[in-house]
Amino acid sequence: MTPLLALAALAAAAPVAPAAPVVRTDDGPVQGAALADGGAVFRGIPYAAPPVGPLRWRAPVRPRGWTRPRATVAEHAACPQIVYGDWNREAARTGDEDCLFVDVRTPGLSGRRPVMVWIHGGSNRAGAGGGTVESRITDKGIVLVSIQYRLGTLGFLSHPALSREQGGHSGNYGLMDQQAALRWVHRNIARFGGDPARVTIAGESAGAMDVGLHLLSPGSRGLFAQAIAESGTAGFGTPPRSLAANEALGVRIARRAGLSATAGTAALRALPVAAILAADDRVDVPGLDDDSFVWLQAVVDGRVLPDTPARLFASGRFAAVPLLIGVNARELGLHGGRAAAVATVRREFGREAGQALKLYGLAPGFTPLDDPRLGDVTQQLATDLTFRCPTIAVSNALAARGVPVWQYQFDFAPPGGAVSHASELRYVFDPPRPGEPPLQDYWAAFVRAGRPAGARLPDWPRYYAGRRGYMAFDQGGPVAKTGLRRAICTLRAAP
């Protein structure tokens, strides 16, 4: 065989790289990256116009349409944020106001598969959606979507000047971004092989808080069929903030950024991003022990959120969709440490404080009840107040009205280790190895069928307010239990 014929034979035998897939969204065509298994991934599809200039601190609007295929294969900018640690360093480095993107990973462009829409965490002031779609959870037969939304002051500022401009309401722009992204999913996901009628919204930490707020927001109705909330609720264990209080906070932030108390919208929108981020980071928040929780207080703006989470849950004004909700056994420490523990119990438990002090071993003559898995008493207290008890309150509110709820507590760690906030994420997005908890299998089953169940999975009991069943993911494997933290959380019922 001649050299030319040999080269031709080799070329014919070589595998042909799959063509880059192109999907025509209702804003314009996007070109993604083909995957070896026949699927495709798209990174950085704009679902809204860049919220810059006159669009800063306004409800999101559709992007300007395009006609030529837009490349959506590379990582994209996160939304603006400062560095809070190694966990968000890269996101802070790439931050840009032009950040309203969705990423999509699909097993195939044909068919109608259930969809999981991920809302990232980060205290609603940091984090990013990029990287989520590298997960192979799509091998379980679902389409994965990750969304980004405006963060911190850029996403949640209220201000009297903005309220005057916008019909008496301002703030919660980040939540409006998420709603716009969900509308994009509803209009377009069928073209990516997804089923718009089977969308599950899911999130962790602040992302779980936002999931909880979508359960309550009229603007989110009909945009999802199920929900997953990991380590967060709509109330997030903090008192809600009124529009007036958020406007007053906005004035404080604007003044720290160099503006007068009477500054108008033009001056606000002319502020450099760096000045906004710095002012956000330095502001003292009335009523909060820990100012890092500044954007973890639900803002009752009257537009996105019409009433407090507690009243909305109590009156049944929520989306009655199946909910998978839970916490990690040990989440965060108590701000102020052990010195603040007794005062915190007295403030948070009110008339039940005496009994709560005994249960924590903080009453006179008692010994603090430190625990090898739940942590010392301050870690238990912080996790109970911010995560566990609000999760139980939400579960009770939904279950009391017949809504299917599945509750869990995650406490799996390598030998000798302990869980912390976000420990469960690896097990959701990575397939389980031998001996590891099968969270991905349960989560995917819930997305597919509205129930965390499978032929090879231990039975996960549905939560009922009377029995309070939950799944414990601990060192011994998934085990069904009842009455998570019943004695403590019965004393504090606010969601």
Which residue's entry shows tokens 């009110």?
A: 350
Rg (CA), the chain: 24
The DSSP code for 363 is: S
**CA 218 to CA 166: how far, in whole Å?**
18
φ/ψ of residue 348, rounded to 5: -80, -30
Whose CA is closest to 484, among 463, 474, 469, 466? Answer: 469
Element (H, E) at 243: helix 243-256
Kindly write down the DSSP assignment for every residue of 392-407, as one continuous string. HHHHHHHHTTT--EEE
Sequence-distant (6+) residues with CB within 8 A of 440 are 137, 140, 427, 428, 429, 430, 431, 432
Cα separation values, 286 from 63, 234, 296, 341, 423, Å: 37, 20, 13, 20, 31
Q: How many angstroms separate the CA atoms of 208 and 201, rounded? A: 9
Instruction: Look at residue 137 and give its three-state secondary structure.
Output: helix
Residues 330 and 419 sit within 8 Å (Cβ to Cβ): yes
- Contact of 181 with 59, CB cutoff 8 Å: no
Cβ within 8 Å of residue 295, ≥6 positions away: 123, 124, 125, 151, 152, 155, 156, 206
Nearest Cα neighbor of 216 from 147, 313, 118 is: 313
Whole-number Å distance between alpha carbons of 142 and 115: 6
Cα–Cα dist 240/233, whole Å: 12
Grouping H, G, I as helix, E, B as strand and the rest as coil, residue 78 is: coil
7-30 in b/e burial notation, b at 16+ Cβ within 10 A? eeeeeeeeeeeeeebebebebbeb
Helix %, strand %, coil % of the chain (to 5): 35, 15, 45
Residue 471 belongs to what H/E stretch? strand 469-474
Which residues are annotated as catalytic? Answer: 205, 331, 421
